[in-house]
Amino acid sequence: MKVAAAVLVPVLLVAACTPTGSRSRISASPPTAALSSSTAPTRATSSPPAPADAGWPTYHGDLARTGVSHSMPAVSGPLRLALSLALDGAVYAAPIVAAGRSVVGGSRTIVATENDTVYGLDASGRQLWRTHLGEPSPANERPCGNIDPLGITGTPIFDDATGSVFVAAEYGAPPRHELVALSAQTGTIRWRKAIDLPGADPVVMQERGALTVAGGRVWVPFGGLNGDCGDYKGRVVGVPLDGAGRTIAYTVPTTREAGIWAPPGPSVDAHGHLVVSVGNGAAGSGDPYDHSDSVLELDVAATLVDSFAPTTWASDNEADRDLGSQGPALVGPWIFIAGKSGTAYVLRQGRLGGIGGQVSSASLCRSFGGTAVDGSVVYVPCTDGVRAVRIDSSAGMHVLWAASGSITGSPVIGGGRVWALDTDAGVLHALDPATGRSLGQVTVGPVTRFATPALSGRTVLVPTQRGLAIVAAP
């Protein structure tokens, strides 16, 4: 629903392209790991502390999408909804926090709306700047979909080296997509670049996944609209950081579908490669593999390096039980992935294994959204409650706990808490990382299904259908 108001209203509230090569695939049948239960999580300490001014520049805080703040102070007091900000449209993208040498006078909280407006706020939530990029696409311009109007949906990214915030916006009349670079300091538009490329219909292409930066480019993932209508194809588009030079892309080699739509977007591994999950494609039983229902590794030339797909990829496609609903989680030497089928897989980073090449697999849950990773433990957004899963040195999966079935949002970690939303009720929970028990909760208002918090200092920033909720976590 389009919100007519274009001003920031603070309300103080208090409340309790085609692949060119791939590495060899594993043809032997891999072992299937038993999914065991345990009561005490193993807390690895291999991740180095982040600098105090690192901010939260992208979806889940870093390019690996770990979702961990190492600088958030320990939480000991009750949660409080400190501020509810009414913006000019619904916020589907996660907030980010720009901090670093290129930002003078304190960090900037960046919030983007479906009305194609980007806001820069200070740490208290006061508006510093507001930039309206254009008019979003109304629902009557598209044959399906569930966001109206459709403007900025994918989470932006801040790059301290250039001082720019990059956002992907959709406009209407007709529907089209553009990458925009803005100054994090002032909100001034530095450049714009069209990112609709031949080979797919821009009317049914949707940019939902988070943007990332790797190899001197901004990467923008594309999938389709809710309802899988029209001639769309999964694609990742790479644009140079200065907006000049050639735009490159990888397009999943399918006749249609195979969207790269999971909200976390690409994860960036230690080699600077992009790791993405791919949704169901048009191929089914008896058809050749089309790299749908897969995890793909791409280099910064937008070339396919490696792939993984379950042996059931064709039947998964036919039943819409693909891996594309959850972003890949980088867990030490492993990649964890779980999608719509209920089966989780552990893959080896650097050797994904091809069809049936997982190191282990187990029945776990249906997962939608983004994970958080702390050492060897991955926190998984399951449709029946967030789970903590430890992955051992042999790629075995061990369930440590499962949270209440209503707490299904994509989690983040900081201040000795796991933060996740009950997205139906619009309630933020602070979970005990050892047990999954809720240690505190606060109502933040209506949120979207894939809403996930950002962490900044002692505050938790939650995107809402009205704007932004700022929760104090003393």
Q: For the segment 162-214, what is each residue's pLDDT rounded down to a tens digit?
A: 999 999 999 999 999 999 999 999 999 999 999 999 999 999 999 999 999 99
| Topology (CATH level 3) of domain 9-472 | Methanol Dehydrogenase; Chain A (2.140.10)
Tell me the C-alpha distance between 274 and 304, whole Å: 10
Q: Is the distance from CB of 71 to CB of 61 less than 8 angstroms?
A: no
Flag whether pLDDT at 262 surpasses 60.
Answer: yes
In the predicted structure, residue 119 carries a pLDDT above the cut 80: yes
Q: What is the rounded distance in angstroms from the CA atom of residue 56 to the CA atom of residue 8?
A: 22
pTM of the full structure: 0.90
What is the C-alpha to C-alpha distance for residues 410 and 431, in angstroms, rounded to an integer?
Answer: 13
Domain ranges, ordered by start, for the chain: 9-472
pLDDT tens column, 295-345: 999 999 999 999 999 999 999 999 999 999 999 999 999 999 999 999 999
pLDDT digits (tens, 9 = 90+) for 396-452: 999 999 999 999 999 999 999 999 999 999 999 999 999 999 999 999 999 999 999
Structure tokens at 96: 């980010």
Quick one: pLDDT at residue 54? 76
Q: Return the exposure string of 439-474: e unless at least 16 CB atoms fall within 10 Å of the residue's CB, then b.
A: bbbbbbbebbebbbbbbbbbbbbbbbbbbbbbbbbe
What confidence score (pLDDT) does residue 209 get?
A: 98
Average per-residue pLDDT for the chain: 91
Phi, psi of 335 (to 5 degrees): -120, 125
Separation of alpha carbons 145 and 216, rounded Å: 33
